[in-house]
Amino acid sequence: MDKTAAGSPTGRGRGGQPQPDQLDFRILDRLLTDGRVRLREIAREMDVSPTTVTARVERLRKGGVIRGYSAIVDYAKLGYEITAVTEILVSKGKLLEMEKEIARLPGVCAVYDVTGEIDGIVIAKFRSNEDLSRFTKGLLTMPFVERAITHVVLTVVKEDFRVRG
């Protein structure tokens, strides 16, 4: 077994951290498919030792690549049938502060700092039109939010933030 397969990738990334290699990406892909899979099963499928897989997963976790494990939830079945994408325009250089404040609001799934004519994009889920209305009006009352343009999602074609190799 070569050094790379044994858990010592040779490439270095930012901060001197080992760069994920092909085996790391295969392990990550398998964990994305089923986060509850046993590491021993991954090792068997990839024809490497369980120690190698365990070491790789631990290194990816310590390096911040694996930030946690969670279930994939159908939010509509929990009553969150409305998804909104809101563009925000923020004044007076307060973008970072506003994004952090918005990120703490109920229903917010994602906040993106973007390029272009707007400053940020917020993706949020709601149970009712009233909840969406309160959220949108609440954004507009924030001190440095100049404009909030909300788009209601009509149909979800794909919603899966798991990027696979």
Q: What tokens does 70 get? A: 């969670």
Q: What is the mean pLDDT of residues 56-80?
A: 93
DSSP 31-67: HHH-TT--HHHHHHHHTS-HHHHHHHHHHHHHTTSS-
Distance between CA 147 and CA 139 in Å, rounded? 9
List where CATH 3.30.70.920 sits in the chain. 75-152
CB atoms within 10 A of CB 118: 15
The candidate with the shortest Cα–Cα distance to 119, out of 139, 141, 148, 153, is 148
pTM to 2 decimal places:
0.77
Higher pLDDT, 14 or 66: 66
Taking a C-beta distance cutoff of 8 angstroms, is the pair 66, 47 a contact? Answer: no
> Tens digit of pLDDT for each residue in 136-155?
999 999 999 999 999 999 99
CB atoms within 10 A of CB 50: 14
Q: Which CATH number fits domain 1-71: 1.10.10.60, 1.10.10.10, 3.60.20.10, 3.40.50.280?
A: 1.10.10.10
> Tens digit of pLDDT for each residue in 43-63?
999 999 999 999 999 999 999
- Domain 75-152 in CATH 3.40.50.10470: no
Please report, to the nearest 10 degrees, the dihedral formed by the alpha carbons of residues 123, 126, 128, 130 taken in order: -70
List where CATH 1.10.10.10 sits in the chain. 1-71
